[in-house]
Amino acid sequence: IGRVFLLCAFIYVTLSTSQRRDSELSSKLAKSNDSIAAINNKLISIVERGEKNGYNYIKYSNGDAVVWRKYTWNTDVSVSWYGLYFASSKAVDFPFTFKEAPLIIVSPGTTNELYWMGVNEVSTTGYKLTAYSVKKGMCYSQGNMLIIGKWK
């Protein structure tokens, strides 16, 4: 009888310890899941990547968007302006509508011409591109465009 009692007591202690451990593990697992959910809310992921109208773009889950392209333009740089010449602005559309007017960075591409490009009238749907030069005449201009803004 003594051995049976000891065996029963051992089983009881083992089961109650096991239940306590299960409860502690369950509580720790719930806390871990909450922590993972909090981290996931802070992660920024790519929600869309694509190409449209000559642009490449990436849209992120936090609402940011990065757009880039190489823009080429044969134009007559003939309007005189303080010793320089420029081409009338050309309207260019974005591949999608931004929430607010984005930042546009233009750097010259590789050509044998002396020119530079600029943008004005930037809106949520597009911008106007202007080519400038120190010489009058036809200009084959290239610009590397980087556009950063909010899409949502």
What mean pLDDT value characterizes the chain? 83
Cα 146 to Cα 104: distance, rounded to the nearest angstrom: 6
CB atoms within 10 A of CB 55: 19
List 90's β-bridge partners, or say none: 129
Residue 13's H or E segment, with its range, is helix 2-42
What are the pLDDT digits (tens) for 59-113? Answer: 999 999 999 998 888 888 888 888 888 887 778 899 999 999 999 998 877 665 6
Give the global pTM.
0.70
Residue 38's H or E segment, with its range, is helix 2-42
Q: Report how many helices (DSSP H) and strands (DSSP E) the chain contains, helices first.
A: 1, 10
